[in-house]
């Protein structure tokens, strides 16, 4: 198989996620059964794909769905530039190319039996959502201990996957905490920045592992809180983002020191991130 050749996909469904319409989710389905079987035989939460639009180019996006959800692959795209504007202008039924799954995944198989803490801020919640959905599959959920999810956004209109995540409040197998930066009328959950709210909730570090994704400022202030709670840097993972070209470790576009984010990552333990040059 040519690793540079995208497989043909079709947009099956588009969901406008945020009130300001800057984030939309695209559920893509496969045109060929063999491509679908190959994808789902490989895919694990945390991985990404290169999406391509003829005449516009290619760009990497984290997969935001779990394999058990159905025969589609979800991507949630923030409209910021040439490619993302082009995909936002597309409609259900339109064709699109996809390469992947690419990169490594959240190493959850290594942490069976542990309590899981997921901390996300802003639209970096995409692959964390895939991780939580994966863990919530009944046959998988029973292999782990407590599941705590802390998810922050600037305001309530910017939360992703609302109809689904609202049901998490009713479940007994997940402790779900949403936080917004400033008070809002009618908001009954947490108010405050993610690091402050994490300190308030204080998830136990005993037999626990944390997965943290968000803007760099959120990560910078959340790490000391987790450290204070007793999480060692070997037990905290994140997903890095660098500009990419090939996505398979050949072009050198995404390297940080000796590591290629596309191939050695995008998921790294903070113990590994600490070893990387600081220009990250």
Interface residues with ligand FAD (CB under 6 A) are 48, 59-62, 76-78, 80-84, 123, 126, 241-244, 266
C-beta of 81: minimal distance to ligand FES in Å? 17
The reply on whether position 251 binds ligand FES by CB under 6 A is yes
Part of the chain binding ligand FES (CB under 6 A), chosen from 1-9, 37-45, 101-109, 243-251: 243-251
CA–CA separation, 33 and 20 (whole Å):
36
Closest to ligand FAD by CB, 231 or 260: 260
The CB-nearest residue to ligand FAD is 81
Torsion, CA 55, CA 60, CA 61, CA 63, rounded to 10: 110
Closest to ligand FAD by CB, 125 or 231: 125
Q: DSSP characters for 52-86?
A: EETTTEEEEEE--S-GGG-SEEEEEEE--SHHHHH
Residue 94 gets which letter from DSSP?
-
Element (H, E) at 115: strand 115-121
The reply on whether position 3 binds ligand FES by CB under 6 A is no
Looking up tokens 């956004």, which residue turns up?
153
Question: Which of the listed partners (ligand FAD, ligand FES, none) does 113 bind, with a CB threshold of 5 to 8 Å by partner kind?
Answer: none
C-beta of 96: minimal distance to ligand FES in Å? 20
Provide the total of helices (H) and of strands (E) in the chain, helices listed first.
8, 15
Question: Which of the listed partners (ligand FES, ligand FAD, none) does 36 bind, with a CB threshold of 5 to 8 Å by partner kind?
Answer: none
The reply on whether position 252 binds ligand FES by CB under 6 A is yes
Part of the chain binding ligand FES (CB under 6 A), chosen from 13-21, 63-71, 146-154, 240-248: 240-248
- What lies within 8 Å, CB to CB, of 212 at 6+ separation is 118, 119, 120, 219, 222, 223, 226, 236, 237, 238
Q: Are strands 48-53 and 57-62 parallel, antiparallel or unpaired?
A: antiparallel
The residues binding ligand FES (CB under 6 A) are 244-247, 249-254, 260, 262
């Amino acid at each position: 198989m040519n690793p540079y050749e995208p497989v043909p996909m079709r947009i099956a469904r588009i969901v406008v996620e945020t009130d300001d319409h800057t984030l939309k989710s695209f559920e893509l389905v496969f045109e060929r059964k063999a491509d679908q079987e190959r994808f789902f035989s490989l895919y694990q939460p945390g991985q990404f794909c290169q999406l391509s639009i003829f005449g516009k180019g290619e760009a990497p996006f984290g997969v935001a769905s779990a394999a058990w959800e159905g025969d589609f692959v979800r991507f949630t795209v923030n409209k910021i530039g040439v490619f993302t504007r082009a995909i936002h202008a597309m409609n259900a039924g339109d064709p699109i190319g996809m390469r992947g799954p690419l990169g490594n995944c959240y190493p959850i198989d290594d942490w069976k039996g542990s309590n899981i803490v997921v901390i996300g801020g802003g639209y970096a919640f995409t692959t964390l959502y895939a991780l939580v959905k994966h863990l919530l599959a009944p046959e998988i959920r029973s292999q782990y201990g407590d599941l705590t999810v802390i998810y922050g956004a600037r305001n309530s209109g910017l939360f992703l996957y609302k109809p689904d995540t609202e049901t998490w409040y009713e479940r007994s197998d997940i402790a779900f905490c949403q936080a917004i930066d400033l008070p809002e009328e009618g908001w009954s959950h947490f108010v405050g920045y993610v690091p402050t709210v994490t300190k308030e909730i204080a998830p136990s570090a005993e037999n626990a592992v944390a997965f943290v994704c968000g803007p760099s400022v959120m990560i910078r202030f959340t790490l000391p809180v987790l450290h204070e709670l007793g999480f060692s840097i070997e037990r905290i993972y994140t997903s890095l983002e660098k500009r990419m070209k090939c996505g398979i470790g050949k072009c050198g576009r995404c390297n940080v020191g000796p590591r290629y984010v596309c191939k050695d990552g995008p998921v790294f333990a903070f113990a590994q991130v600490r070893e990387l040059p600081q220009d990250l």
